Amino acid sequence: MQIENEYQMVEPEFGPSGPLYVRWAAQMALGLQTGVPWMMCKQNDAPDPIINTCNGLICGETFVGPNSPSKPALWTENWTTRYPIYGNDTKLRSTEDISFAVALFIAKKGGSFVSYYMYHGGTNFGRFASSYVTTSYYDGAPLDEYGLIWRPTWGHLRELHAAVKLSSEPLMFGRYSNISLGQEQEAHVFETELKCVAFLVNFDKHQAPTVVFRNRSLQLAPKSISILSDCRTVVFETAKVNTQHGSRTTEVVQSLSDMHNWKAFKEPIPHDISKAVYTGNQLLEHLSTTKDETDYLWYIVSYEYKQIDDDHLGLLNVESRAHILHAFVNGVFVGSVHGSHEARGNIILKANISLKEGQNTISLLSVMVGSPDSGGHMEQRSFGIRKVSIQQGQQPLHILNNELWGYQVGLFGEGNRIYTQEALYSVKWTDIHNLTYIPLTWYQTTFATPIGNDAVTLNLTSMGKGEVWVNGDSIGRYWVSFKTPSGKPSQSLYHIPQHFLKPRDNLLVLVEEMGGNPLQITVNKVTITTVCGNVNELSAPALHTQGRDPAVHLRCQRGKHISALEFASYGNPAGDCTTFSTGSCHAESSESVVRQACIGKRVCSIPVSPTKFGGDPCPSIQKSLLVVAKCR
């Protein structure tokens, strides 16, 4: 069981109280007498008997080790991809890198436990994501956001753990030794009287050296670890991925482009301070005012303009510590600004505004995109608008902070739940037209339920930012207008779980803050349509099959079967699972053999052996089998 999480990262901020708190938390946990060990993740000063553990990408290199000889080496968060946030490109971690890190942790640190973060990706429904974190969460995990197998990561890790399990006896009870095999090569050996396992490590990222281990010569791939069962037979190599590859495909099943099927409702811009929920001569903090029950807080103030000359223009300046700010003057949108995960602190809006003689209403919408999730003194952080001023020509700056402010918590449509079937027509919806594509507009339509059990998504690339509901259930915030450095949305597909759907006429409601175009939204299915295997005849046979020969193993997702072959070649095919062609050596029977073994089946296996293909087409060449197939 765990008490605290990565507290060491903020412990220095609390001075002498930090270590005292660590000891108090440990004593409190032990006092519960749960009967199972306790651990503190990423806490090197965890007091006995609390186990200090490692979180990170390369714990085989960064972990300082257990702080007591009686404690095991545990890796509690092995990050399978990078943290997903709006405004950043997705950074998928390679299969080879994950397996290298795990094998090194077991070999070099005596690791006995590895927990993947995340092993199964998911969806941050509703408002559950933290600051700037995308609705899609760890989609590149071994099991993706939709529960589909992410290949080849899932299969390669399965082989790695099968190899570890095969040698569990020497790993747990064997004598450990570390042997240098070269400048950047080493062997980690665990040996009992009867059993032995060796991890041969090559840290060189570019060279493939040949090393000698126990009178045997072996070539190690760049940055790789080879696991030798009985210290002789290579049963797994981190850099050689022999397991099945697969690629996901998004298929449009319904376009929502018919203008006549959409309705719109303009979110009212509050302007009457007398109707505000709260009033006061100060700027309130965002989260303490909303109680985190909504992302939105309206700040409303009245400004009296006295005409001096013909210039009706002014400059509105707003400083905020929220994540997004939308500004309206007399109900007219005048500008937006937003921050980012990296650039925290003030966001500043400067907008030229047109003023009328007499009273003008300034309505400022403060928006949070999740609450903060880490750091010290979180209770002291403040969010929301901090300073508001207006500059008129050469006149002195007019600061509005201490004027009478009115506050409305949340959006009107949000508070009245107009995204549900029960309250949908509590407001007047109008036909959609081009003039509707303005900030703070609600949209609603219906769509048919796609046939089958494939994962269902909405493609919201044409929208800006907001939240989306299907049959009254929120599938999360969307923010496709916040582009990444590569110019793409951080996330464009938004998951609709099957159990959110009805047999027909699903209600889709969105609130759009920026002014996107709903007519380009599509309903999509996400499937794995292409599977591929590429295995060399010298590769180690897959441990989970207990076969004698290396083989290409193909498997379609549940409910589908192998319907067609895109490519099959036994010999020395060129390329990989995405770009491929026959080489100088090619068995003419390749396609017929694979077709007979696989077409119409969900699962098939083809040994990489000359006898399977009617003989050796080129005895002097090392051969491989590359197969690319379609599932439907």
Active centre residues (catalytic): 6, 77
What's the CA gap between 592 and 599, in Å, rounded? 10
Cα-based angle 322, 325, 326 (whole degrees, multiple of 5): 160
Among 570, 566, 557, smallest CA distance to 532 is for: 566
Contact 515, 437 (CB under 8 A): yes
Tell me which amino acid residue 75 is.
Answer: W
> Left if phi > 0, otherwise alpha if psi is -120 to 50, otherwise beta: which for 537?
alpha
Contact 490, 85 (CB under 8 A): yes
Among 189, 171, 186, smallest CA distance to 220 is for: 186
What's the CA gap between 475 and 138, in Å, rounded? 16
What's the CA gap between 154 and 160, in Å, rounded? 10
Among 271, 393, 411, 278, smallest CA distance to 332 is for: 271
Helix or strand run (H / E) with residue 31: helix 17-31
- Structure letter (DSSP) for residue 454: S
Contact 35, 29 (CB under 8 A): no
Report how far Cα 292 is from the mean position of its chain's Cα atoms: 23
Report how far Cα 160 is from the mean position of its chain's Cα atoms: 24
Going by C-beta distance under 8 Å and a sequence separation of 6 or more, which residues neighbour residue 180? 186
Going by C-beta distance under 8 Å and a sequence separation of 6 or more, which residues neighbour residue 510? 442, 443, 444, 463, 466, 467, 468, 469, 478, 518
Going by C-beta distance under 8 Å and a sequence separation of 6 or more, which residues neighbour residue 217? 210, 211
Contact 300, 270 (CB under 8 A): yes
Among 18, 118, 112, 11, smallest CA distance to 59 is for: 112
- The DSSP annotation for 321-379 comes to SSSEEEEEETTEEEEEEE--SSS-S-EEEEEEEE--SEEEEEEEEEE-SS---S-S-GG
Contact 518, 256 (CB under 8 A): yes
- Structure letter (DSSP) for residue 143: B
> Left if phi > 0, otherwise alpha if psi is -120 to 50, otherwise beta: which for 100?
alpha
Helix or strand run (H / E) with residue 412: helix 412-415
